[in-house]
């Protein structure tokens, strides 16, 4: 029933907190795990074309750092499991939903919290948008309350 589980990560505490849920469910269902990270595409996100000669170089540098970070993400927790990792460029919630459609994902596990700061103000909540548009079941994972 649940054969493919997608865990999108922005490497935040919220995504790390969701990781054991995805890992445990993948074990229980004997499912494959898909880890993706989406690098914001400035052109797409703003709807403006940002001409910048070095933009491609900047993206490829960010991409190589993100790939390394993604390789490390969940290394311990996911040892011995069937895990696919991919770095994608675009608007995070759009790419997460597209990836789920394209790969026939059965379950998305996503943190309710991501990185704080300006991105959130400009782009809105990734978790909320994914929840609204996902083609499959979504498990949202909250951060534990402080002090509990």
Residues of this chain that interact with ligand AMP (CB under 6 A) are 8-10, 12, 14-15, 18, 36-38, 92, 110-111, 113-114, 120, 125-127
Q: For residues 47 and 148, what is the distance between their CA atoms, to the nearest angstrom?
A: 42
b/e burial code for range 82-102 (CB count within 10 A of at least 16 → b): ebebebbbbbbbbbbbbbbee
Tokens, residue 85: 């990792």
**Residue 31 or 127 having the CB closest to ligand AMP:** 127
Least separation, in Å, of the C-beta of 147 and ligand AMP? Answer: 21
C-beta nearest to ligand AMP: residue? 114
Tokens, residue 7: 């865990």
Least separation, in Å, of the C-beta of 1 and ligand AMP? Answer: 23
Least separation, in Å, of the C-beta of 72 and ligand AMP? Answer: 15
* DSSP line for 124-138: --HHHHHHHH-SSEE
Least separation, in Å, of the C-beta of 16 and ligand AMP? Answer: 8
**Residue 31 or 91 having the CB closest to ligand AMP:** 91
């Amino acid at each position: 029933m649940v054969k493919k589980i997608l865990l999108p990560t922005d490497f935040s505490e919220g995504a790390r907190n969701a990781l054991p849920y995805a890992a445990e469910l993948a074990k229980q269902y004997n499912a494959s795990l898909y880890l993706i990270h989406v690098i914001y595409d400035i052109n797409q996100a703003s709807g403006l074309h940002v001409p910048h000669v070095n933009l491609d170089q900047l993206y490829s540098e960010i991409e190589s750092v993100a790939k390394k970070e993604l390789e490390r993400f969940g290394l311990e927790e996911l040892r011995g499991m069937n895990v696919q990792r991919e770095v994608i460029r675009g608007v995070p919630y759009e790419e997460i939903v597209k990836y789920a459609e394209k790969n026939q994902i059965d379950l998305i596990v996503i943190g309710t919290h991501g990185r704080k700061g300006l991105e959130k103000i400009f782009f809105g909540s990734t978790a909320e948008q994914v929840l609204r548009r996902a083609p499959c079941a979504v498990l949202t994972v909250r951060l534990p309350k402080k002090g509990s």
